[in-house]
Amino acid sequence: MTDTQITLTVNGQRHSRRVPTRMLLSDFLRHELRLTGTHIGCGHGVCGACTIEIDGATVRSCLMLAVQAEGAAITTVEGLAGEALHPVQQAFHEHHALQCGYCTPGFLAATIELLRENPDPSEAEIREALHGNLCRCTGYVNIVHAVKRAAELMRA
């Protein structure tokens, strides 16, 4: 297997590494950069647990090769909070919109993208925007409430 040199920015920090050409971006983040908040659920792009932001759009990192992210700006769940929680993280915490937490990073990324595009979504719009993220624990009710609250916090 051949290796390829890549340079990308993850959570504001520039990284250059030589990686196997067929290494998945999710594996690069978890194993090379030790950013374990990007979770691998299904490995087929179905569950959304590995969702991250690349150049302002959400992407399933288990479906993308690390070499495809050359030059990109990536935000993972570890890059959301500064000195305080991101408003979406705060809302998920307030509304108990997580249980085991495995799906949470993907839901956070999808919610941030939704609220950037639609700052005041209806319940139907929230459910549609999050339909690609699966949760086996919560039943989604609290997640929808959290997204509504996050929208309020981000508009304030």
pLDDT given at position 17? 96
Residue in 118, 127, 128, 125 with CA at minimum distance from that of residue 151: 118
Task: Determine the Cα–Cα distance for residues 10 and 80; give it in Å rounded to an integer.
Answer: 11
Boundaries of every domain in the chain:
3-79, 87-155
Pairing type for strands 3-10 and 73-75 reads parallel
pLDDT given at position 139? 80
Domain 87-155 - what CATH class?
Answer: mainly alpha
Q: Which CATH number fits domain 3-79: 3.40.50.10540, 3.90.480.20, 2.30.110.10, 3.10.20.30?
A: 3.10.20.30
Task: Determine the Cα–Cα distance for residues 73 and 8; give it in Å rounded to an integer.
Answer: 6
pLDDT given at position 138? 80
Splitting the chain (156 residues) into consecutive groups of 10 residues, what average pLDDT does each group show?
Answer: 94 97 97 96 93 96 98 97 94 93 94 97 97 89 97 94
pTM of the model: 0.93
